[in-house]
Structure 1
Amino acid sequence: MNKIQATWLQGYVQLKIVGYHPELFFDLCVRHHINAWNIKKIDQTTCTGNIYIKDIKKMRRLRKQTRFKVYFIKKNGLPFLFKQTTNNLPLILGLTASFFLVLFLSNMVWSIDVQGVRPELEKQIRITLNENGVYKGKLKFSIRSVTEMQQLLLDEIPELLWIGVKENGTTYALEGVEKTQISEKEDASPRHIVAAKNGVITDMYVSKGRPMVSVNDYVNKGDILVAGTLSEEEVKKEKNKDQKKRHNQIAATAEIYASTWYESNVTIPIEADYHVLTGETANKYYFNVANFSIPIWGFFEEEYTDQQVEIEKRSIHFFQWKLPIHIIKKEVYEREHVQEKRTKEEVKKIGIEQAKKNLQQQLGSDAEIKKEKILHETAESGKVKLRLYFTVRENIAKIQDLSQGD
């Protein structure tokens, strides 16, 4: 098979030799290092055989030294095929243009399907995608990746609990899950509101239940703040309103804010050594085939002395098939190396901000850090160690089912 393929790639011709003992002509060719094969004698004066294109000139010189007549019967192989196609230039141009048109259309977004959400939320999803460059007719390798698209929708649309994005050829299929607001039932199980941690009460907003503490009271973790049991007078009052309660128990509902306290330890180096981005960026695009990249855009951009590179690789499709061809986008960010020696006051300020940020992430956005205080500080081995004390205002209300006991 390999021999046949090599013969076809080099190209060969089938000859008809006419004369007395025509097979002698092929014998003469072989003796002059001209390869000949598939030799067949038709009759006493006719014989056929094949030789390579590259040996035609040598064969013609030999023929002039004999009385044999040579006729070309067939021309086979890649060189002849290439010559035939190049002679028909309009056809070649048409086929090439058609191929690139199909390739272009195969890498365009033709449809965006959204399922699993209400029509109002579906419209909001489509508007968000459109504002961020994801819409019908957009080339796929110029838009965000599937992961970035998912994160974008979750960040921009708070009503979404989860959304999945799947790329199917020229279609993006999105399936979302909405957040459900579960309204508290009137017949919710009886419960107390207890303290989730130690603190001093600053504000109380009681919707249901019997307050057991007041503002400025100190409470310990587990103390009952709002009781889910009613007094006898309150029970009679509820019965007069035709409110059916199970004995004297209700589901207490309240928001109780208190001042709480936290300690934190941080260590900050006096000498800073880090990289920062300057804000200068450059995008470069490459056409990648079999690990060989060809620059197609942005290769004249100036190289940065110190840079950070992020690479995004997008496949190219032909209809639904993924080709072993990629468009590579390189985002190059200029950065600079910073070395500085900070004062002790600057280090303390950075340490406090870092500790506050870590504590805020731990407590959540509802908590408010009111003030901070340095309990202890030391400086050794080029570092400043701080022991910090924070006062925080946060909701310490915690539900405790009455079946768990007081």
Structure 2
Amino acid sequence: MKRTQGVFVKGYTTIRVKGKFPEFFLNRCVDKGIVVWNVKKIDESTCEANVKLEDVSRLKKLRYKTPYKVHFHSRIGMPFLFQAVWKRKPLLIGFLFCLALIFILSNMVWGIDVEGVTPEIEHKIEESLSNYGVKKGAWKLSLDSPSEMQQKLLNDVPELLWIGITEKGTTYHLQGVEKTIVEKEEAKGPQHLVAKKKGTIVYMYIEKGEPKVEINDVVKPGDMLVSGLIGREEEQKSVRAEGEVIADTWYTSELSVPLEAEYQVLTGEEEKRYFLNLFNVAIPIWGFKEPDYTIKHVEKKEHDVHFFSWRFPVTLSTKNIHEQESYKEQRSVSEAVKEGIQQAKQELMNKLPIDSKIISEKILHQQKENGKVKLILYFKVHENIVTSYPITQGD
């Protein structure tokens, strides 16, 4: 059984041996190491059997020395199948060309549908997608994955609260949800405006209510800024005080800035490797050698492969390997101080209300120690310090 395994791949033929006692010829073939199987007796002078294609030449030489006649009845296996197809080369080439064309067209973008947003937002989404290379006729295997596109769109189109991207055949379907500005429901009762932190008032804009402070007044948390009680005491009326009170507020920040900065910079050298992923096994199909970069930055992308709407059970992944170089920069003390101030400003602005503004900064303490500059910084900020305080019947 083992001697006949894989015979279809290598090919075999069915022979008919004619002569007196044809079994003797087949026995002689076996003695010479020629594999013979499925032997059948057709009549008294004819036997039929299967012989490997690779043994045919030896069988012919053996027949020359015998009175037997050998006829080749049928040819079976891949070599004969390939030979038959190769005789029809134009048909084969046309068939392969059609398959390649269908494969290419099945992996291109032919439609982009955007739903759930206004025409203005839809136009912004389509413009952003075009910048990413996502447009009709684009080769899908070179594009970002839907999850990466979603994240980019959320960053580039601030009006979007959420967006989902599904890939159906050659079409991308996008379902978006816009951000809605939910106005805070006004309290039914009146209110005062009080200070939420210490500061020196520099500007006031009062829409409703009676101001209780003036410019340059110093206030502390809980001080009344604008009263919701207006009019004379005997005719006093409660209203919802509204307005802004901008004050100077102060913040301190402590940080250390190294005098030596290290950067990773791409040199521009890049190698690409392509893999077919089958059953969690990555089979390289292009770019077999890993580049010998000292420092590498690797980007991996994985794409589904389609034929019409059917997704192949394999995926194509690309691995972009960039060369990086490490640079060390020696800063002066003044450069380190400047960098520290910018860093502290950015951190402070992330904590402040969006309409706040840093007016000035001052270095309270500066010390060079162990290759670092230690700083204590003082910032003056203009910010709205009001917070509401409801008016109760006892007020």
For normalisation by structure 1, the TM-score amounts to 0.84
CA apart distance, 1:390: 0.9
1:350 counterpart letter in structure 2: E
Aligned partners of 2:225, 2:375: CA distance in 1, in Å?
A: 35
Aligned partners of 1:404, 1:22: CA distance in 2, in Å?
A: 123
CA apart distance, 1:140: 1.4
2:255 counterpart letter in structure 1: V
Aligned partners of 1:31, 1:387: CA distance in 2, in Å?
A: 99
Match of 1:344 in 2: 333
Q: Deviations over 1:205-244 (max 9, x none)?
A: 22233333322222222334333x33246997xxxxxxxx
CA apart distance, 1:397: 2.7
Match of 2:250 in 1: 261
SS of the aligned residue for 1:136 comes to coil
Aligned partners of 1:160, 1:190: CA distance in 2, in Å?
A: 35
Q: 1:338 to 1:131 in 2, by over 3 A?
A: closer
Match of 1:240 in 2: none
Match of 2:284 in 1: 293
Q: Is the Cα–Cα contact under 8 Å of residues 111 and 172 in structure 2 kept in the other structure?
A: yes
Which range is displaced more, 202-211 or 43-52? Answer: 202-211
CA apart distance, 1:60: 0.7
CA apart distance, 1:405: 9.3
SS of the aligned residue for 2:6 comes to helix
Aligned partners of 1:87, 1:114: CA distance in 2, in Å?
A: 50
Q: Is the Cα–Cα contact under 8 Å of residues 283 and 329 in structure 1 kept in the other structure?
A: no
Q: 1:100 to 1:399 in 2, by over 3 A?
A: farther
CA apart distance, 1:391: 0.9
SS of the aligned residue for 2:97 comes to helix
Q: Is the Cα–Cα contact under 8 Å of residues 316 and 327 in structure 1 kept in the other structure?
A: no
Q: Is the Cα–Cα contact under 8 Å of residues 296 and 321 in structure 2 kept in the other structure?
A: no
Aligned partners of 2:393, 2:276: CA distance in 1, in Å?
A: 67
Q: Is the Cα–Cα contact under 8 Å of residues 317 and 323 in structure 1 kept in the other structure?
A: no
Aligned partners of 1:380, 1:197: CA distance in 2, in Å?
A: 35
SS of the aligned residue for 1:180 comes to coil
Q: Give the fraction of aligned pairs with identical amino acids, expressed as a percent.
A: 41
1:42 counterpart letter in structure 2: I
Query: Of the candidates 275, 279, 288, which is equivalent to residue 263 of structure 2?
Result: 275
CA apart distance, 1:306: 5.7
Match of 1:54 in 2: 54
Aligned partners of 1:404, 1:391: CA distance in 2, in Å?
A: 39
CA apart distance, 1:305: 7.1
SS of the aligned residue for 1:100 comes to helix
Match of 1:173 in 2: 173
CA RMSD of aligned residues (A): 3.1
Q: Is the Cα–Cα contact under 8 Å of residues 285 and 327 in structure 1 kept in the other structure?
A: no
Paired residues in the alignment total 388
Q: Gaps spanning 5+ residues in structure 1: where? A: 237-246
Query: Of the candidates 252, 271, 281, which is equivalent to residue 241 of structure 2?
Result: 252
CA apart distance, 1:179: 1.7
Aligned partners of 1:405, 1:95: CA distance in 2, in Å?
A: 91
1:16-95 alignment runs, 5 A limit: 16-95=16-95
Aligned partners of 1:44, 1:405: CA distance in 2, in Å?
A: 127
Q: Is the Cα–Cα contact under 8 Å of residues 110 and 170 in structure 2 kept in the other structure?
A: yes
Q: 1:402 to 1:248 in 2, by over 3 A?
A: same
Q: 1:381 to 1:27 in 2, by over 3 A?
A: same
Aligned partners of 1:376, 1:370: CA distance in 2, in Å?
A: 19
